[in-house]
Amino acid sequence: MHWRFLAVVATTLFLLTVLIRAPASWALKLAPPGVDCSQPSGSLWRGSCTRLRAAGVELQGVGWVAHAWPMLRGHFDLDVSSADARLPGTVRLSIGLGGHLELRDLHVRLPVGTEFLPLFPTTWRGSLQLDLSRVDFERQRLQALVGTATAHELSQRNPPIAFGSYELRFDPALQENGLIVGKLRDVGGPLAVTGTLQLRNGSDYDLDGFVTARPAASADLVKAVDFLDRDAQGRRTFSLTGTL
């Protein structure tokens, strides 16, 4: 029995040593299809890629730090960072069993009108700052969203139109029964905007609100607002429905 115990301890120590010293290239075998890491360096637990390609996007200087203790709870946790000047940011990823994915403390700034944000037309300019404390996916379906998304200095290039800056805040107190609610407001610019975004089933959305053109608004922007319907109080309203 004594020798068996020593053999188990020795084998365990050997496996731990192998894992600790495992090269970063081992992490690529755990990556999903379509992820390509060029010139990996470091180890499985603390490594980096000179260039990372995923989902049609290429980033420079992506690094990660893995955490061992969450594995005891059935989670694989990674702190991921991007040093790319076009998209700097940090996030903690927690990959669980059964297709559960958690994002914690996501902080990233994305340029509008580029491959990073295909949601916006390529003729638009500005940036989107994401400061999200919690984003949960279950089997690739969005389940929870907490934090703030801020669009800074949105504008159109041709014809030149300034739209201003806006904040969308997701409060955990407003989320229940699978419904995710975000409050929209302007944070400066030619339009005064308030609204509510509701996300259902992880993808279906409804966005409703009110908009008023300020004196600084361009003639084209005032004309666009005037096309919107009015409510009983005479306020201009907007409404969008769709699927992400």
pLDDT per position as a tens digit, 55-76: 677 788 888 888 777 666 667 7
Taking each continuous run of H as one helix and of E as one strand, the counts in the chain are: 3, 13
Which residues on neighbouring strands pair with residue 130, listed in sequence order?
A: 108, 149
For 65, phi and psi rounded to 5 degrees? -135, 120
Q: How confident is the model at residue 12 (pLDDT cuts 50, 70, 90)?
A: very low
Q: What is the mean pLDDT of the chain?
A: 79
37 burial (CB, 10 Å; 0-12 / 13-18 / 19+) is buried
Q: What is the pTM (predicted TM-score) of this model? A: 0.80
Out of 49-53, 100-104, 132-136, pick the least confident.
49-53
State yes or no: cis peptide before 159, omega within 30 of 0: yes
Condensed to tens digits (0 to 9), the pLDDT of residues 25-43 reads 555 555 555 667 777 777 7
Helix (H) or strand (E) run with residue 45 in it: none
Diameter over CA atoms, the chain? 87
Q: Give 84's DSSP letter.
A: -
Condensed to tens digits (0 to 9), the pLDDT of residues 203-218 reads 788 999 999 999 989 9
Give the span between the Cα atoms of 158 and 66, in whole angstroms: 45
